[in-house]
Copies of this chain bind each other. A is one copy, B any other.
Amino acid sequence: MCSRFATECRRRGVRLTEQRLAVYRALARDATHPTAETVYARLRVAMLGLSRASVYRILESLEMEGFSRRVSTTDGVGRFEANLANHQHLVCRYCGRITDFEADPGITLPKGVPGGFVPERLDVSIIGTCGKCRRRVGRHNA
């Protein structure tokens, strides 16, 4: 799937550097919605010269170019994904873990919205408690 990425970069005249390819591959093969720091930590093992700043810059440009997305979160730390297929996120409110979930086809973009807003895509998160945390925290505040 990365040759597709390479081809597409060339087609658009976007420079294909070792770092860009590595960051894209890291995202594409990792469905855990890693943070920039996580991507950096994983890649630097094999790419000793890699800098944190480049990872941040690359993550931003990949998003601008439509190769990946920043996932919306509640905790303020950026999380990224290369999976652009229509899907939803299961978000654990205790540990913050984000898991992909097939999109409910019944959920569609609204037609009319106020103020000339043009809907383009949905971002659906299902907030809840993951299996691990359920066992750990049990029930309280009931």
Give me the interface of A with B, judged by CB distance under 8 Å. Answer: 66, 70-74, 76-78, 90-93, 99, 101, 104, 106-107, 109-110, 113-131, 134, 141
Given contacts A74-B72, A76-B77, A126-B122, contact A117 B93 (CB under 8 A): no
- Residues in B with CB closer than 8 Å to A109 are 126
A131–B106 contact, CB under 8 A? no
Task: Give Cα distance in the complex from A72 to B70, angstroms.
Answer: 12
- The 8 Å CB contact of A90, one of B70, B107, B113, is B113
Which of chain B's residues have a CB closer than 8 A to the CB of A131? 115-117
Asked whether, in the complex, the Cβ of B129 is within 8 Å of the Cβ of A115, the reply is: no
* A92 contacts across to B, CB distance below 8 A: 117
Q: Are B71 and A90 in contact (CB under 8 A)?
A: no
Give min CB distance, A95 to chain B, whole Å. Answer: 11
CB contact under 8 A between A121 and B113, given known A76-B76, A76-B77: no
